[in-house]
């Protein structure tokens, strides 16, 4: 809209309403303290759906926790210790102790995908340390159908897969991490970006051929699961874990990405530069036609008339 902008005086009714809405919700760090959790425990509680978050009304991009949600969690779990136990993670050694097996057997069960990691980190030697939910491990060990897997020889077919180098821990983690991220957003482009983040950029470019759509996906690309310095050896290890490598996994992720982008495109097309119409080009000036030695049209030259007169007098 062109013209002079008229500034209206701001009334005092909107600000208290916004302030009241924000006062009824808490920042993640404040909510973690209210629930007696460490920040990492709180983030995992949000991922698992134990604590629900809401968008920030102030438009800051971060999510907040409603005061009513804090009250609900307290009433459900009864104490901070109960919630902390629900989100407690353990490594291989402690996980094996919980299930009553050796660390070697626990690792084989994890490689077969029978127990699924919930997060990972790199130690100082850049080795991947997988973490599992203690509560899930206890439930796995308590099921009667899993007893043969906890003692005795592992079935031959599973042993053959292990001998061939099968390791489903990265793939299962990617699937779980994808579910965590998708539950935290309802934006269609953000959901498509989550799928794209698990594919190699070359795969993404083959599926999403429009460069403006790819740039829009990059705006919503989630952060790496483990914080590392960019382009460092540790970052390369994390990138390998976060990128699909099996052909079948790549295939269904590509199909999912194509479907997600098509849905996002219908909901809200990706922004692109405005098309400006170039100014009309004026026609080139016409040059007047120059005629050498012009003669008056319809008139006979004087010299020709005199010549014909002399010929009539002297036949």
- Please give the full DSSP string across 10-41, using - where no structure is assigned: PPSSHHHHHHHHHHTEE-HHHHHHHHT--HHH
Average pLDDT, the chain: 83
pLDDT band at 8, cuts 50/70/90?
A: very low
Nearest Cα to 129, choosing from 12, 225, 264?
Answer: 225
d(CA 70, CA 84): 14
pLDDT of residue 294: 53
pLDDT of residue 6: 37
pLDDT of residue 141: 95
- How many residues in total does the chain contain? 315
Top pLDDT among 179 and 79 is at 179
pTM of the model: 0.76
For residue 285, is pLDDT > 90?
Answer: no
Look at residue 107 and give its three-state secondary structure: helix
pLDDT of residue 184: 85
pLDDT of residue 284: 67
Maximum Cα interatomic distance, the chain, rounded to a whole number of Å: 147
pLDDT of residue 201: 95
- The packing angle between helices 28-35 and 67-77, to 10°, is 30
For residue 90, is pLDDT > 70?
Answer: yes
Nearest Cα to 193, choosing from 159, 229, 217, 157?
Answer: 217
Residue 295 to residues 14, 63, 109, 298, 309, Cα–Cα distance (Å): 88, 91, 109, 9, 22
Look at residue 255 and give its three-state secondary structure: helix
Average confidence (pLDDT) over 22-41: 87
Percentage of the chain surpassing pLDDT 90?
Answer: 58
pLDDT band at 17, cuts 50/70/90?
A: very low
Top pLDDT among 13 and 223 is at 223
Nearest Cα to 181, choosing from 195, 199, 201?
Answer: 195
pLDDT of residue 62: 75
Are the beta carbons of 243 and 198 closer than 8 angstroms? yes
Task: Output Rg (C-alpha) for the chain, integer angstroms.
Answer: 37
CA torsion sign for 104, 106, 110, 114 is positive
d(CA 52, CA 183): 10
d(CA 10, CA 306): 101
pLDDT band at 310, cuts 50/70/90?
A: low
pLDDT of residue 2: 41
pLDDT of residue 288: 59
pLDDT of residue 117: 97
pLDDT of residue 144: 92
pLDDT of residue 80: 72
Structure tokens at 187: 């934006």
Nearest Cα to 120, choosing from 70, 177, 67?
Answer: 177
pLDDT of residue 87: 93
pLDDT band at 188, cuts 50/70/90?
A: very high
> What share of residues in the chain are helix, strand, coil (percent, to 5)?
55, 5, 40
């Amino acid at each position: 809209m062109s013209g002079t902008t008229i500034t209206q005086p701001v009334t005092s009714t909107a600000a208290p309403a916004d302030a009241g809405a924000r006062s009824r919700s808490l920042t993640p760090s404040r909510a973690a303290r209210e629930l007696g959790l460490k920040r990492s425990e709180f983030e995992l509680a949000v991922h698992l759906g134990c604590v629900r978050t809401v968008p920030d009304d102030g438009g800051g991009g971060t999510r907040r926790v409603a005061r009513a949600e804090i009250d609900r969690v307290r009433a459900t779990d009864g104490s901070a210790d109960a919630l902390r136990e629900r989100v407690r993670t353990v490594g291989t050694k402690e996980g094996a102790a919980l299930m009553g097996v050796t660390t070697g057997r626990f690792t084989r069960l994890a490689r077969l995908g029978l127990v699924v990691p919930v997060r990972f980190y790199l130690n100082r030697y850049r080795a991947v340390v997988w973490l599992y939910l203690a509560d899930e491990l206890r439930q796995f060990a308590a099921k009667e159908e899993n007893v043969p897997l906890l003692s005795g020889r592992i079935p031959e077919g599973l042993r053959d897969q292990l001998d061939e180098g099968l390791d489903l821990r990265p793939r299962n983690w990617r699937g779980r991490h994808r579910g965590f991220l998708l539950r935290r957003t309802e934006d269609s482009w953000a959901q498509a970006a989550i799928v794209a983040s698990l594919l190699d950029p070359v795969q993404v470019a083959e599926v999403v051929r429009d460069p403006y759509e790819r740039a829009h996906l990059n705006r919503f690309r989630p952060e790496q699961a483990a914080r590392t310095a960019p382009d460092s050896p540790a970052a390369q290890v994390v990138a390998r874990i976060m990128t699909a490598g099996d052909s079948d996994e790549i295939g269904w992720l590509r199909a999912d990405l194509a479907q997600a982008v098509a849905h996002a495109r219908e909901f809200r097309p990706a922004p692109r530069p405005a098309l400006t119409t170039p100014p009309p080009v004026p026609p080139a000036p016409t040059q007047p036609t120059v005629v050498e030695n012009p003669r008056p049209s319809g008139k006979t030259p004087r010299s020709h008339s005199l010549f014909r007169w002399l010929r009539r007098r002297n036949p």
